[in-house]
Structure 1
């Protein structure tokens, strides 16, 4: 095995695991798949894939749409038996994958910890979900690997480790091509260099294709096993806000917490209170006093936000039923309401004008504004806002649900 310095390959890898239950909180690795890729040509150099048999076969379902059944993994090697191969593939290389910082990297460390082995370490990490969240955004609807693959006509995601690793690489290529073309589109009237001028350029002065290649830089260490992960980018001075595209749906839960002498439901993500950062929400209806004294406005949510809120609402509703309340549960995402045939959500302001409100100027600077100015700013339809939202549950006068309360708003 070579040292880190002479292992330039990028390794795209993916894990398939069991889904934790109430009885068994952990996850067992059921499949490992990886491809080694040349960093200069992006050609696949090698690959490795295997099923993994967990110590307790009862956690593996008899039937699975992924093909990861008890029968399939029964004769597979244990993770301890493949640990040397996995270590050799990963250690000292650039790790790449979709959402690997918050999922696959943690699972790898946990798996090595269980067999009392030192885990492999990356030279650098490229998480395509995090990178595309900053650059590609919602061009394809959301940033799920399956959605992106369908958007580019690459076929269905199989949810199998080796196939998904290869699919991930193809998705990255297509997204990079789109971003490259967008950023380098020049209007004819702005293109000043004539062909004659270009032809006259001395050949030694023409830039070589690789002169401006940016070096892949390492990111900070990923969270240790068993600890809640934090966003990879600072969203604000407030801690704990998560972009909807970074929410792991199967890590959403709800629990009862003490509240005003009683208890209320709190929505959690990876056992931490879930708060959402939603950029570029488009206002459909401005400030309303219908719910006075609480003020609110209506926005058009992107599909990924709808998906996250639907899961939160469903899980919180289950806890609501457990409490024995007879109040009617109201959906967080309103569909086909009297106002619109499209999904909408209502954002409420905090009591006593406590919502911090700023306006983003053309220069990019933020200017704090008084609440008295806020109402007129949000009257025009299609105004864009960035919202830092808490998910507050309520049970009042026969109705219950989740309110989205803005702790901070930035108006474009």
Structure 2
């Protein structure tokens, strides 16, 4: 199939992955020197038809004359002999118009250049059905584990080899990165203990004699106490905990938290953690009032805190809607936890603190929450 040919309604369902190579012509000015695209089936992420790419001659002769040859094959002679944007504008329009557009950092960069190029050529610009920019998408879901999230860095992370900075090569790399990241996130969501550095331990598997605490320098130069289990940072997953009361934001504290009834085994584990951390704080000469992690009332309960990295699954299944709490309004967030008989499967870390009131203790920071409107059968 010729990508630039006129397509029917079924073909418009295909995703247009594209990339531009550019030359800088001013402080905030760029011109396109190459366009490349492939069409992809949204159901299978398989390429459909042949790819399309073309070098493009810049609009001004001085840009061509001052162009420095690149080792990837984009040379002064090559772009001097290339068609102008006006000559290929119809082909590019046929590929992009009415489709879903996808690419890396295209919202901030490529889309604007395409719009400008069509305006300068006095042609109608293509429009997209909606946009998939993989840069903010990966920043939200994949985090900073792959560094700066540039396409070259992501390719190195997944072992795709050196980036060539040619449009079609970058498009292919982008699609491979997206598939690989999706596979990793799928495995992590379904098998949270898959990676050693992400080991989450159920309370029943925690040996209290293997719990310890150690001093560690914090990012601001102060000392931090790390809670360990078998010499690794202790990260806990506990299933089917009943929500005692929902979202609470305390005065002068930036984080949100909610309370859950603490199961007996977790109660014992957290008391041991408290004792180790308190002793280490004492060795540092810190005499702040200690705030026990378990609250004693008519129920024994703990607070689970939410931060910017907390991910929430509604209805307790990874394939259901996943959100960050920062995406929800106060009312929406409260509704998640205020239903009668709400239970959570929680994956949380143990962070020590000293606050402005000279109080110290352990904060349980929720990393992942699976919310159930009733007690899951597997937790009974």
Who is 1:232 aligned against? Answer: none
Between 1:156-165 and 1:61-70, the stretch displaced more is: 61-70
Who is 1:283 aligned against? Answer: 219
* Number of aligned positions between the proteins: 218
Who is 2:90 aligned against? Answer: 84
Deviations 1:337-389 (A, max 9, x none): xxxxxxxxxxxxxxxxxxx97244334389xxxxx944858x99xx99xxxxx
Matches within 5 A, 1:316-355: none
- State the Cα distance separating 1:3 from its structure 2 match: 5.8
**TM-score, length of structure 1 as denominator length:** 0.47
Matches within 5 A, 1:27-106: 27-45=30-48, 46-60=50-64, 61-106=67-112
Given the superposition, is the C-alpha separation of residues 94 and 35 from structure 1 closer, same or farther in structure 2, using an over 3 Å criterion?
same
| SS state at 1:20 partner | strand
- State the Cα distance separating 1:118 from its structure 2 match: 1.4
Who is 1:9 aligned against? Answer: 14
- State the Cα distance separating 1:152 from its structure 2 match: 1.0
| SS state at 2:24 partner | coil
CA contact (8 A) 1:4 1:123 kept: no
CA contact (8 A) 1:4 1:92 kept: no
**What is the distance in 2 between the residues matched to 1:163 and 1:375?**
56
Cα RMSD of the aligned pairs, angstroms, is 3.4
Given the superposition, is the C-alpha separation of residues 286 and 155 from structure 1 closer, same or farther in structure 2, using an over 3 Å criterion?
same
- State the Cα distance separating 1:142 from its structure 2 match: 2.5
**What is the distance in 2 between the residues matched to 1:143 and 1:132?**
8
**What is the distance in 1 between the residues matched to 2:80 and 2:155?**
31
- State the Cα distance separating 1:286 from its structure 2 match: 4.0
Who is 1:358 aligned against? Answer: 254
Displaced runs of 4 or more, over 6 A: 186-190
**TM-score, length of structure 2 as denominator length:** 0.51
**What is the distance in 1 between the residues matched to 2:176 and 2:95?**
20
Who is 1:177 aligned against? Answer: 183
Matches within 5 A, 1:355-394: 358-361=254-257, 362-364=304-306, 373-374=355-356
| SS state at 2:306 partner | coil
**What is the distance in 2 between the residues matched to 1:186 and 1:31?**
42
**What is the distance in 1 between the residues matched to 2:72 and 2:358?**
52
**What is the distance in 1 between the residues matched to 2:26 and 2:253?**
41
Given the superposition, is the C-alpha separation of residues 58 and 122 from structure 1 closer, same or farther in structure 2, using an over 3 Å criterion?
same
**What is the distance in 1 between the residues matched to 2:75 and 2:44?**
37
CA contact (8 A) 1:9 1:94 kept: yes
Who is 1:304 aligned against? Answer: none
Gaps of 5+ in 2: 1-5, 195-200, 203-217, 224-251, 258-303, 308-325, 327-353, 366-380
Gaps of 5+ in 1: 191-281, 288-355, 367-371, 385-412
Who is 2:29 aligned against? Answer: 26
- State the Cα distance separating 1:138 from its structure 2 match: 1.2
CA contact (8 A) 1:16 1:29 kept: yes
**What is the distance in 1 between the residues matched to 2:357 and 2:138?**
34
Deviations 1:219-256 (A, max 9, x none): xxxxxxxxxxxxxxxxxxxxxxxxxxxxxxxxxxxxxx
CA contact (8 A) 2:255 2:306 kept: no
Given the superposition, is the C-alpha separation of residues 6 and 33 from structure 1 closer, same or farther in structure 2, using an over 3 Å criterion?
closer
Deviations 1:75-121 (A, max 9, x none): 10000000000000001111110011111111111110111111101
Matches within 5 A, 1:303-322: none
**What is the distance in 1 between the residues matched to 2:62 and 2:72?**
17
CA contact (8 A) 1:53 1:77 kept: yes
Who is 2:291 aligned against? Answer: none
**What is the distance in 2 between the residues matched to 1:59 and 1:175?**
38
Report which of the two structures shows the higher radius of gyration computed on alpha carbons: 2
